[in-house]
Structure 1
């Protein structure tokens, strides 16, 4: 488990993280989302003890990172896959990490095979593609077989097969009871991978909850009927909000069962009655529209 309580980080007058509190529970993949400048990277660095908080705490299994006796065997992390000496081979890079954390050398071959780099074990990391570098970073995160994983943009540079592989891997690790915190800008991938979401903006917590809470909140009902104009008026009298587009109505504030019952009572012919859930991207944009620090001109 990862637990943040009142976590705050100031750089002079700049508040990068502002009284942030949330818990990442075991057995789930928790997505960590926010626009650029939201404080995600600073938060991840404080969890890993790379930056000291101005106030508040970040603990892993009840301890700050600096107090973990064997950090790599407690939490595996991937913040920057390029943070590898370019002259070292993949095998030597992982071997040195294993030796300094009391991990058997045999584990190096295991994780190289797990991430698909067994045949590249003797190649220098400086010659790796972006995707191969990501796989090496993941191998380092998994090296200590840790109960907690913290990964920042782990699918960056991976091909479709690699993206599917890591999605399956993350969900499998969570199913084993591990704690997985995953940060990414790819909303479509997060929607397929995460069980829970934590959304931050301008250093503060905006929302957290099950992923269905985010996509379900923006649900609307699509209705197609030859009596669109008159039925729209009846729906509005019943308290719904309705947008009319030809023979199609977009209804909010009333669920599909109630729309169907009203149509039956009014003898309205329906060609379509479906519920449309907001995508995670739509929900994210709505949640963070007032928390975008570095947005494009409109």
Structure 2
């Protein structure tokens, strides 16, 4: 478990992390979100003991990272996949890490197999593609078989198959009871992967909640509806009598706002009206996150967005 309590980091007059409190629990993947400059990287560095808090504290398994007896066995981290001596081979780098933490050499082959880099074991780090470097960094994070993983943009540079692979891997690690703390700018992927999210802006906590609850709480009651009745038939009149707004979309379905799908289905059942399609509409994580962090974005461009809720 990772526990941050009133965690604060200042660099001169700039406050990068501002009294941040959150908990990352085992058995789930927790996504970590925030605009550029929000303090995500600083927070992860504080978790891993690479920076010292100005105030507050952060612990891993109940202790500050610097007090862990065998850090690699307890916490696996991937912050920068390219932060490796380019002249070292994949195997030599991992062997060095293993020896420094009294891990058996066979563990190197095991993690290379896990991340699919057996064939690249003797390649030099500087010759790896970005996607291969990400797998290499993940192998190092997994080397000590840790109970806690802290990963910054682990899908960066991966192709579609690689992204799906890491999604399944992280979910399986969490299912084993590990703590997985993951940052990513790929909102659609994070929505598929994370069970819980922590959102920050300008170093302050904006949300700390389950992913499903977060999306449902920020989505208006709405649904897509298709019926055999005409546009001005009894179903529309019934919905509008209940205060719903109804409009026809380009595919001949009704976009109903003001009632959720279960309420619409119950109305149709009670009044004996046929329904051919009824799909709940939810806003995407990206839409909600963008609206929530709009005031916390350090650098902004101009532009309009006409995005609508997506069927879930």
The structure-2 alpha-carbon separation of the partners of 1:236 and 1:42, relative to structure 1 and needing over 3 Å to count, comes to farther
- Are the counterparts in 1 of residues 45 and 51 from structure 2 also a CA contact under 8 Å? yes
Q: How many equivalent pairs are there?
A: 297
Offset of residue 255 of structure 1: 1.9
The corresponding residue for 1:281 is 286
Taking structure 1 as the reference length, the TM-score comes to 0.91
* In structure 2, distance between residues paired with 1:257 and 1:107: 51
The corresponding residue for 2:259 is 254
The structure-2 alpha-carbon separation of the partners of 1:233 and 1:295, relative to structure 1 and needing over 3 Å to count, comes to farther
Give the SS at the match of 1:188. helix
* In structure 2, distance between residues paired with 1:267 and 1:147: 55
The corresponding residue for 1:238 is 242
Offset of residue 195 of structure 1: 0.9
Q: Does 1:222 align with 2:224?
A: yes
Offset of residue 68 of structure 1: 0.6
Q: Does 1:196 align with 2:196?
A: yes
Further displaced range: 270-279 or 1-10: 270-279
- Are the counterparts in 1 of residues 5 and 19 from structure 2 also a CA contact under 8 Å? yes
The corresponding residue for 2:308 is none
Taking structure 2 as the reference length, the TM-score comes to 0.87
The corresponding residue for 1:297 is 302
Any unmatched runs of 5+ in structure 2? 304-312
The structure-2 alpha-carbon separation of the partners of 1:165 and 1:266, relative to structure 1 and needing over 3 Å to count, comes to closer
Q: Does 1:42 align with 2:42?
A: yes
Give the SS at the match of 1:289. helix
Offset of residue 160 of structure 1: 1.9
The structure-2 alpha-carbon separation of the partners of 1:269 and 1:27, relative to structure 1 and needing over 3 Å to count, comes to closer
- Are the counterparts in 1 of residues 240 and 246 from structure 2 also a CA contact under 8 Å? no
Give the SS at the match of 1:17. strand
The corresponding residue for 2:114 is 114
The structure-2 alpha-carbon separation of the partners of 1:257 and 1:174, relative to structure 1 and needing over 3 Å to count, comes to closer
Q: CA RMSD in A?
A: 2.2
* In structure 1, distance between residues paired with 2:117 and 2:269: 61
The structure-2 alpha-carbon separation of the partners of 1:265 and 1:94, relative to structure 1 and needing over 3 Å to count, comes to closer
Offset of residue 27 of structure 1: 0.6
- Are the counterparts in 2 of residues 228 and 249 from structure 1 also a CA contact under 8 Å? no
Offset of residue 270 of structure 1: 5.6
